[in-house]
Amino acid sequence: MNNSALPYWLTLLVVLAAAYGGYKWYQVEQARPSGGIELADLPPLEEFELTERSGEPFRSADMRGKVWAVTFFFSTCPGSCKRLNANIKYLNSLEDIKDVTWVSISVDPQTDTLPVLQEYAKSLNADPEQWLFTRGELAYVRRIGKDILGVDDIGYQGHKDFAVLIDKAGTVRGIYDAGRYSELERIEKKLVELLAEAPPADEPAETAPAEQPEQPDAADESTVDKSDVEGAKADAPQEQAA
């Protein structure tokens, strides 16, 4: 090959590599939803249980009557997880949705032990009551994502930056790309809407204890006035002796 042509071919290879990289980036971006997916008619979630960073069990059944949001992450993620959790931290600070519980599920349970989750949560100043960090066996986590929450492509250190919004009845009401700052306003608006909804009809209402009927004094043999009894005896005809 002519040495004078070498710069030309190198330049061409660089341009082709850049074009291919740009095309793959475009494909990835196109695969990400540009807006929220409304899922108002999905059936209630199946129940699942994970372990929270405190060591206490997290049960989806215990969330009935509450609005909550689920995301996936892993503590050593160098890029998208940091952006995702920064966005969750911002949303969690908003007064109008302060009653929403955020549930972050690790996709690297081997690394994300309970002490690691505790330190990770501490680095984000996560409220232990409103922002939970959970773990479980990866196969189980994948089933939660795919079969229960409707989020595919969950794998070892692999996830999408989705936030799955769940209403007080345990029904998935929307899936949003929480890694995008432009989506945060839509997420906030939807959560405000869910918080304003009434709890499920079968939720037991708090009722006052039933009032017990007043009991007569132990000293009283009856609630009838004794003077009335004596008067009745006096008026009764006397039996004649035989």
Give 104-157 pLDDT, tens digit per residue: 999 999 999 999 999 999 999 999 999 999 999 998 998 898 888 888 888 888
Which pLDDT score, from 0 to 100, does residue 43 have? 54
Which pLDDT score, from 0 to 100, does residue 64 have? 94
Cβ of 86: how many Cβ atoms within 10 Å? 12
Mean pLDDT, residues 12-32 taken together = 55
How far is the CA of 203 from the CAs of 11, 167, 200, 206, 241, in angstroms? 68, 13, 5, 9, 72
Q: DSSP letter at 111?
A: T
pLDDT interval class at 38 (50, 70, 90)? low
Query: Which amino acid makes up residue 99?
Result: D
pLDDT interval class at 79 (50, 70, 90)? confident
Q: Quick one: residue 16, left, alpha or beta (phi over 0 = left, psi -120 to 50 = alpha)?
A: alpha
Per DSSP, helices labelled H in the chain are 6-31, 80-92, 114-123, 138-143, 184-196, 226-235
Helices and strands per DSSP (H, E), number in the chain: 6, 8
More confident residue, 201 or 38: 201
Give 220-233 pLDDT, tens digit per residue: 443 334 444 444 44
pLDDT interval class at 3 (50, 70, 90)? low
Give 193-207 pLDDT, tens digit per residue: 999 999 988 765 444
Residue 24 φ then ψ, to 5°: -65, -40
How far is the CA of 78 from the CAs of 73, 123, 172, 192, 210, in angstroms? 11, 15, 29, 31, 58
Helix (H) or strand (E) holding 164: strand 162-166
**Fold of the 45-195 domain:** Glutaredoxin (3.40.30)
* Residue 156 CB burial class (10 angstroms; 0-12, 13-18, ≥19): middle
Separation of alpha carbons 126 and 92, rounded Å: 9
Separation of alpha carbons 88 and 82, rounded Å: 10
Mean pLDDT, residues 176-197 taken together = 96
pLDDT at 40 over 70: no
Which pLDDT score, from 0 to 100, does residue 162 have? 92
